[in-house]
Amino acid sequence: MAVGTVTGMRDLDALRSWHADWRGLRVAVLGLSMTGFSVADTLAELGADVLVLSETASEEYARLLPVIGARLHLGALSAVPDELVDFDPEVVVASPGFAPHHPVIAWTRERGTALWGDIELAWRVRDKVLRADGTPADWVLITGTNGKTTTTQLTATMLVAGGLRAAPCGNIGVPILDAVRDPSGFDVLVVEVSSHQLWYLSLQQGSEPVSPFASVCLNLADDHLQWHGSFAAYRDAKAIVYQHTRVACVYNKSDIATRVMVEEADVVDGCRAIGFDLGVPGPSDLGIVDGIVVDRAFLEDRRTSALEITTLDDLAVQGLIAPHIVANILAASALARSLDVAPARIAEALGSFRLDAHRIEVIATANGITWIDDSKATNPHAAASSLAAFPGAVWVVGGDMKGVDIGELVAARGPSVKAVIVIGVERTPITDAFARHAPAIPVFEVDHAQTEDVMADVVAAAARIARDGDVVLLAPAAASFDQFDSYADRGRRFAMAVREWTSSSASQTPNENGATDTGGADDHDDPADPSRR
């Protein structure tokens, strides 16, 4: 692999404003997803010389690149393309999907070229649209293994209810560079950041690093280990969220790893550590007292007093009572309170908030069986939260495990489920885990390579197992890409299959449709069930 050297380098530390001279800067952009296109579009608008490299490209993005003045190299990136070497970039901006060990990333670092992610670029040009006082929007950064999107949406909703112009952006699906360039402008950008984006942020150099107003890591558990290489590297990436925070580092008191992150973070003088959990809060915390969600952090007499935000009864009415959702609400409330949003406005926001699809979404209740889609539970930590909320469920689990061991989850939650239906390509680690940790639980496998057939068979099998009062819970604890386009596609297909079953009021025999019993108790409550051997 030719490494080469960078020629004609300019002072990148001078490029810390939209109004700096970006003209002619040679920038290679890796990836042409939504994020990659936003990077290319921004740099082209700034006058940079932009080369985009991607293995795939939508017809729309491929058509638009020459229109905005950028070039496209479309082809394999398993080795460094000659076109990239000849381009001799001064900066490489990578989309979050490019792992540290990717050949082009390795080449970039070996030759000493500046390597940015979209978050760093957005921070450098955040002054394009200013607030009335002449300053850029404040940033609130949100990360964690699970709950990022819900907490980002909650926080933005609370800030808007408090009279602030706020926008959720980042990993949530709206590129942060689109928000930074929005001509209407914002008071606060609520930025969901993934561990991938934070790893790139760890590489930033210069005099003005990203410095959020407030930040939170909601929780930490095994995830994305194939991308990061180890849990330690994943943890270190997540910890970057707290670096240089100015006002409030919000952490999960029930997850000691997040507290340690705050203790080790290099923050701005005067920044406070604000804890949250489902217990009684101490001073500088948010928590729950006698069914009331309270703030003991953002008031003068926090030693002896607390401010009421909402009640668990009110959250139950809104369908927001699952413990992990309440934890997200506490974290979002802490962020909103750090920006002086009144408790009454937070309660108002919660009164109108609705969870996105595929997040503990009740699909149907029929014949006494409740069907719940939590397809967004793409790792064991998220699935554990769902299982805690619905003990005794018929659990639908499986998919692309991303290198994560599911044994700990099965040991902790497996014995409390009624039965388990295993989907996906990597089924053996799950069935083996049940054999070790919960051998009395009936285990069924759905073996289908065709996506169209999987969920119909899952629903048929679950309908044979579940009884009046039971819950069937899709909480896969795994990514979806082995069989589906996305977690949303997986959830949508599950919901379609459930609705087809409820409309017909009948199910087919699971074994006739691909579900096979691989073990479990012999004293199943329906010994005549044809899905069992």
pLDDT in tens, 377-412: 998 988 998 998 899 999 999 998 888 889 999 999
Please write the tens of the pLDDT for every residue from 441-474: 999 999 866 667 899 999 999 999 999 999 999 9
Model confidence at 51: pLDDT above 70: yes
Residue linked to tokens 């750090």: 338
Between helix 256-264 and helix 231-239 the angle, nearest 10°, is: 60
The domain at 23-116 falls in which architecture? 3-Layer(aba) Sandwich (3.40)
Q: Of 29, 150, 2, nearest to 85 (Cα)?
A: 2
Model confidence at 533: pLDDT above 90: no
pLDDT score, position 340: 98
Spatial distance between the Cα atoms of 157 and 147, rounded to a whole number of angstroms: 15
pLDDT score, position 225: 76
Q: Do residues 451 and 423 touch, judged by C-beta distance below 8 A?
A: no
Position 515 confidence tier, pLDDT thresholds 50, 70, 90: very low
Q: Do residues 72 and 32 touch, judged by C-beta distance below 8 A?
A: yes
pLDDT score, position 518: 44
DSSP-derived pairing of the beta strands 91-94 and 307-311:
unpaired
pLDDT score, position 1: 47
pLDDT score, position 227: 84
Instruction: List the CATH code of the domain at 122-352.
Output: 3.40.1190.10
Q: Of 136, 47, 39, nearest to 95 (Cα)?
A: 39
How far are the Cα atoms of 246, 260, 290, 480 from residue 213, in angstroms, in the given order?
5, 20, 31, 34
pLDDT score, position 359: 82
How far are the Cα atoms of 6, 74, 88, 489 from residue 83, in angstroms, in the given order?
14, 11, 9, 36
Considering the entire predicted model, what is its pTM? 0.80
Each domain of the chain, given as residue ranges in start order, spans 23-116, 122-352, 361-519
Position 279 confidence tier, pLDDT thresholds 50, 70, 90: very high
Q: Do residues 26 and 89 touch, judged by C-beta distance below 8 A?
A: yes
Q: What are phi and psi of 260, to 5 degrees?
A: -60, -40
Model confidence at 3: pLDDT above 80: no
pLDDT score, position 100: 96
Please write the tens of the pLDDT for every residue from 150-187: 999 999 999 999 999 999 999 998 999 999 999 999 99
Percent of residues, the chain, with pLDDT higher than 90: 81
pLDDT score, position 521: 36
Q: Do residues 285 and 275 touch, judged by C-beta distance below 8 A?
A: yes
Between helix 380-389 and helix 323-338 the angle, nearest 10°, is: 110
pLDDT score, position 448: 66
Position 8 confidence tier, pLDDT thresholds 50, 70, 90: low
Q: Token pair of 119, please?
A: 């978050």
What is the maximum span of the chain, computed from C-alpha positions, in angstroms?
77
pLDDT score, position 503: 87
Instruction: Indicate the CATH number of 361-519 among 3.40.250.10, 3.90.190.20, 3.50.4.10, 3.40.50.2300.
Output: 3.90.190.20
Q: Give the mean pLDDT of 120-147.
A: 97
Q: Give the mean pLDDT of 24-45.
A: 98
pLDDT score, position 526: 33
Q: What is the mean pLDDT of the chain?
A: 91
pLDDT score, position 402: 80
User: Range with the lowest mean pLDDT among 69-73, 128-132, 285-289, 501-505?
Assistant: 501-505
Position 358 confidence tier, pLDDT thresholds 50, 70, 90: confident
Spatial distance between the Cα atoms of 335 and 218, rounded to a whole number of angstroms: 12
pLDDT score, position 361: 87
CATH topology match: 23-116 vs 361-519 = no
Spatial distance between the Cα atoms of 201 and 236, rounded to a whole number of angstroms: 11
